[in-house]
Amino acid sequence: MRSGRKVSILVLTLLCVFLFTACPSKTNIGKILDNPDRYRDKEVGITGTVEDSYGVPLIGGAYKVDDGTGEIWVVSKRGGTPRKGARVGAKGRVLQGFSFGGRNFGTVIEESDRRTR
């Protein structure tokens, strides 16, 4: 009975470790912009307020997020973007030198997931 309990605790602990290492931690936008090479091609999570938003139905769009430490554009390949003023949490890879809609953007996040409030 005790060995079964120990195995259950070990499995639960390993599962928690796996799940928490798979999720990116929240990163300040200011830190990303201050040292973009450190974050290049790495997955990050940000939260903030949408300051600007441009969407193209069925193609994607881009929206600018401000978290108080800086502003960064988030590029979405799925249809729709959050409205201006929305609180958003976004997860994705940091890219540099990205062009969208004829405009050049320096450091951006390519969105893989998003939550809005």
Predicted pLDDT at 37? 86
Predicted pLDDT at 21? 46
pTM, two decimal places:
0.74
Predicted pLDDT at 59? 83
Predicted pLDDT at 20? 47
| Residue 7, in any domain of the structure | no
What type of residue is 76? S
Predicted pLDDT at 8? 65
Cβ-contact 30, 66 below 8 angstroms: no
Domain extent for 90 = 25-116
| Residue 5, in any domain of the structure | no
Rounded Cα distance, 54 and 83, in Å: 9
| Residue 6, in any domain of the structure | no
Specify the number of domains making up the chain.
Answer: 1
Domain harbouring 55, CATH code: 2.40.50.140
Predicted pLDDT at 7? 59
Predicted pLDDT at 104? 54
| Residue 2, in any domain of the structure | no
Residue-wise pLDDT tens for the chain (117 aa)?
Answer: 566 676 566 566 555 444 444 455 789 999 999 888 899 999 999 999 999 999 888 788 999 999 999 999 999 988 789 999 999 999 999 998 765 666 656 899 999 999 988
| Residue 8, in any domain of the structure | no
